[in-house]
Amino acid sequence: MTKAFVFDAYGTLFDVQSVADATEAAFPGHGEIITQIWRMKQLEYSWLRSMMGAYEDFWAVTRQSLAYTLRVLGLEARPELLDAIAATYNSLTPYPEAEAALAALSGYRRAILSNGSPAMLAQLVGNSPLAPHVGDILSVDAKRAYKPDPRAYALVEERLGVRPADVVFVSSNGFDIAGAKRFGFRVARIERAPAAAVRGEIGREIGAGAIRPATLYKALRTQLEGLGFAPDHVVGSLAELAALPGIAPATD
């Protein structure tokens, strides 16, 4: 029986690609490649720190992965500019359907479970129109382990008091979908980049002589992982969650 919907934040409710205006403004002509390498390295650093037992919070990871990106590209930024660019992760743009989708699930407990630090999430959610529709904001910082570590997902039962089987976990990130399903949640995947569409983009761009960084990101980070943990539901947007089987419509 569904009692709660738990959402990933970055890439699921909030568009990580919305940092591109800031990266392009800071380094004209390099915005796209900075945006994509930065996000991929941000995730890699979260996994590496969990595996090494060398936890630092997501603000540190975000800043370190941005510094890595600029260094690899041969770009330089003073500490204050680095901080200003990193802070765009605290004001990401929500996906257009996110607010209405959360409102449509008002009959259920709604929460966020995110790799973001408590301070980052407080700013991100608090300054967005989503805040009135989210009852609980859970940061993996409490466990000092990043998703998809099972310790991170354990926060849901500990803090919300709901069994994994009574949770629909919502994410667009392949690693998160696999981790949440392995943990025991029912999982809904938001498929914003269908496999056929990504294959088509890759084919066209190879034919043109170069694959864009954004297309490579889609291939590496938006697709299902081949780990044997498939989602229970696949939908094209957050707006479709309220129509999942067994989900009652919202009531006033």
User: Annotated catalytic sites, by residue?
Assistant: 8
Residue with tokens 């449509």, as numbered in its chain: 104
Cα 146 to Cα 13: distance, rounded to the nearest angstrom:
18
Cα 55 to Cα 143: distance, rounded to the nearest angstrom:
10
For residue 75, how many other CB atoms are within 10 A of its CB? 12
Cis peptide before 148 (omega within 30 of 0): yes
Here the tokens at position 81 are: 């500019």
174 and 47 Cβ atoms separated by less than 8 Å: no
State whether residue 55 is helix, strand or coil: coil
Here the tokens at position 222 are: 């938006």
48 and 41 Cβ atoms separated by less than 8 Å: no
Here the tokens at position 169 are: 């976990």
State whether residue 220 is helix, strand or coil: helix
Residues paired with 15 in a beta bridge: 93
Rg (CA), the chain: 18
Beta-sheet pairing, 233-235 with 93-94: unpaired
